[in-house]
Structure 1
Amino acid sequence: MAHEIEGGMVEVDGLRAYLSRPTDPSTAGMLLLPMVTGIGAQVREFADDLARTGVTALSWDPWHGPSTDDTSRERLFELMGRLDDEECLAEMRRLLDHMHSELGLSRVGVVGFCMGGRFALLLGARDERLANVVAYHPTVPGTPAPNHTVDAVEATARITAPVLMLYPGADSLVPWESFTRLQSALHSRETGESLVHVYPRAEHGFTDRARRESSEVNAAAYDLSWPQVTRFIATTTA
């Protein structure tokens, strides 16, 4: 049975964020890390869907305002090239602090999509408070972008929380070799369970509504994966 929810933009320690939570008390939470869209309609939909399962969702705003609601993807891709890994991770940890101290959540994980999927892996290595790490088609290209100063593969090997990573086999941005390096890093860990799902013909960013509407394969991948993701979250944040 779906929970009644309330959602809206909030300010957290000077950071803009989107908060969606069930109206009945919850101690489970997820920090949501967007794709290039920022906190656009698609990301708010993800957050609201999580809240309906009984999990409080707080979404990081990488652009501090712009999103696909009012800004072209071309402009947002330009902004993505200027992100600083360390500054972004510091902002995420401030949001985690807020979730634990101000929202009263006892078990908090992280879920990221595309760009956010890579950051979810990086954050998983930095913050041992995390109850889980979910990386949806993480953007970890074969050749790191110039501003990717933190090694995602090395970071992935240091995550101690349970990890669920989802990879589309037809990913045009992340080659199979890059995925297998991430998978090997997960499997090298002595602590933390690893679940790896592969969707053979799905495309990078298959969770995005536009990609689902234009491809039956992407839609099927999302329809199969999302219930498993929410179940994984429910189990690890209980």
Structure 2
Amino acid sequence: MTDRRAFIATGLVSGFTLAAGPINAAAILTDTAGLEAGEVSIKVGDGRVPAYRARPKDKTHAPVILVVQEIFGVHEFIKDVCRRLAHQGYYAVAPALYARYGDPGKYDMNHIEQLISDVVSKVPDNEVMGDLDAAVAFAKGEGADTAKLGITGFCWGGRIVWLYAAHNPRVKAGVAWYGPLRGKTDALHPKTAIELAPQIHAPILGNYAGKDMGIPIVDVAEMREALAKGGNTKSRIDIFEASQHGFFADYRGSYNEADAKTGWAHALAWFAENGVK
């Protein structure tokens, strides 16, 4: 059992995750020209966690975007998203939110259920919120402009976008990519995104897939209704009808290039239009 008083954090995943299987030839690798990018260490309540941070070298007080990992951890795809955002002028940081519980990089595509039971299921929502708060504080300490705070996340991290927007009223805008909106709750994960919708006041853009086998359209409809009932009329959820779950993940077979490019353009415009620029 991990010593909660002084845990030893696991590092970032090297390369792409093994759990998604063979790497798609379309995988995007963004360079670091003009950027300061790499692993950093963030102080949290019970120790330190590693994170990947990318920022422009020649820009001070850059707006901040938290990048929340997929179920597979902070691997090359998540790092690349940070670099893409940094090239757009953002300070992007992705903390390793499983750091206390194990290394997601050691699980291959035949052991995803084991990854979930060994690691993912043990990560408490409230701890994730605290680690993201710590990442914001770290960014501020490096001179970033945390008054312009955004968040984006994918799959597991897409759910966290909704939760963090409910948790932190300083979030200006968020983009959630195919994050679960409902599901089983327990002591570590007490509320679904739909249940927390009344507490979300920031404008959130949801990019969801019409052929997602795990997130039915009825959930999207219920989330839209819950947001509207809570008075959040600025949020929007788009459905990409031809796509599957994971359509933005260019390293995976689920990648849909056209929808990924459209979703990315919408995401950048969303942040700019809502005070994160």
Alignment TM-score, normalising by the size of structure 1: 0.88
Measured after TM superposition, the shift of residue 4 of structure 1 is 2.1
Report the 3-state secondary structure (helix = DSSP H, G, I; strand = E; otherwise coil) of the residue aligned with 1:57.
strand
Please provide the CA RMSD for this pair. 2.1
Describe the shift of the 1:24–1:235 C-alpha distance in structure 2 as closer, same or farther (beyond 3 A): farther
- Select the residue among 53, 78, 84 that pairs with 1:19: 53
Aligned to 1:223: 261
1:46 aligns with 2:85: no
Unaligned runs of 5+ in 1: none
Please give the alpha-carbon distance, in whole angstroms, between the structure 1 residues aligned to 2:205 and 2:93: 19
1:7 maps to 2:42 = no
Cα 1:98/1:215, change in 2 over 3 Å: closer
**1:122 counterpart = 2:122:** no
The correspondence of residues 62-141 of structure 1 with structure 2, limited to 5 A, is 62-64=97-99, 66-68=103-105, 70-73=106-109, 74=112, 75-78=114-117, 79-105=119-145, 106-141=147-182
Listed as ranges, the gaps of 5+ residues in structure 2 are: 1-30
CA distance in 1, matches of 2:219, 2:179: 10
Q: Which has the greater radius of gyration?
A: 2
For residues 82 and 121 of structure 1, the distance between their equivalents in structure 2, rounded to whole angstroms, comes to: 19
Question: Is the alpha carbon distance of 1:220 and 1:126 closer, same or farther for their aligned partners in structure 2, counting shifts above 3 Å?
Answer: same
Please give the per-residue CA displacement for 1:94-148, whole angstroms capped at 9, x wherever unaligned.
112222344331311111111001011001001011111211111234x425453
Kindly indicate whether the alpha-carbon contact (under 8 Å) linking 1:186 and 1:194 is maintained by their aligned counterparts in 2. yes
| CA distance in 2: counterparts of 1:5 and 1:71, whole angstroms | 31
Question: Which residue of 159, 170, 183 corresponds with 2:200?
Answer: 159
Contact 1:35 1:112 in 2 (8 A): yes
Structure holding more helix per residue: 1
- CA distance in 1 between counterparts of 2:250 and 2:136 reads 27
* TM-score normalised to structure 2 length: 0.77
